[in-house]
Amino acid sequence: MASTTIDEVPRPPHSHHATDAWRILKYAQQTARNLLETFDERADLAAPGEEQQDLLRSMVVAAGAGLDAATRALSRQALIHVLHGGDAQAAHHANEYMKGRLREQSAELTQLGAVFRSDPPRVSVHELIVQDMTSRDITAGRLRSVANQFAPPFPVGPSDDPVAHQPIADAIACRNAIVDEMDINPAGGGQQRFQRRREQMVEYANALLGCGFAFVDHVDSKL
């Protein structure tokens, strides 16, 4: 049965390298819960108006922003320690990442030279990965790429692949669609906005936050 409210925050991680990501998600969870409470106080749940819909949209966007920022924090603060810890899977994915970057374009040879000149090279590889992982907004594919650097799988719902867990993929797609809907239309007038059910939006927010907390827990287990 789907939850009708925002889920509780799980325990904090043991490693301080994952603490910032957990705190980001905690604050995002609190924001999402406050927005949902405001919606419930104001809305006619049978037919919410545009103002009430904006509260639901903001709730999902806040949850998505928390997942995005937490993912970036883990990439910046925890990945290097996972690599230094000698995790064979993480090292394999880092190698595969570098191969893929070098196949993309010849300009990547400059980055390869920087890696070889650095001391130690592993730090430079980490910096390149972090730069790529944190330079774009989160999508389902981007989430999978980031997760691969930490040697998944980690459990999220019925599937070990967080993006294959359909509610998370759907939630990311909804979050990105809402961001597009809220953009200013240069041609004039507002963008088309879609009405969404409260129960569905709560499920999306919980999926995004739950994925983030599961990611933190998985990375924490490797530190």
Taking Cα atoms as reference points, which of 211, 200, 205, 94 lies closest to residue 160? 211
Q: Kindly report which listed range (2-6, 122-126, 157-161) carries the lowest average pLDDT score.
A: 157-161
More confident residue, 31 or 167: 31
**Sign of the C-alpha dihedral computed for residues 32, 37, 39 and 40 taken in this order:** positive
Average pLDDT, rounded, for the chain = 76
What pLDDT shows up at residue 92? 73
Q: Which residue has the higher pLDDT, 92 or 25?
A: 25
Q: Are the C-beta atoms of 202 and 43 separated by less than 8 Å?
A: no
Encode pLDDT of 168-218 as tens digits: 778 888 898 888 877 655 555 556 778 888 999 999 999 999 989 988 988
The pLDDT of residue 44 is: 61
Q: pLDDT at position 156, please?
A: 44
User: What is this structure's pTM?
Assistant: 0.77
Best-predicted range by mean pLDDT among 26-40, 106-120, 142-156? 26-40
Predicted pLDDT of residue 142? 67
Residue of 92 and 72 predicted with greater confidence:
72
Token pair belonging to 97? 């990442």
Interacting residues of 218 by C-beta distance below 8 A, sequence separation 6+:
150, 152, 154, 155
What pLDDT, in 10s, does the model give residues 58-67?
A: 999 999 999 9
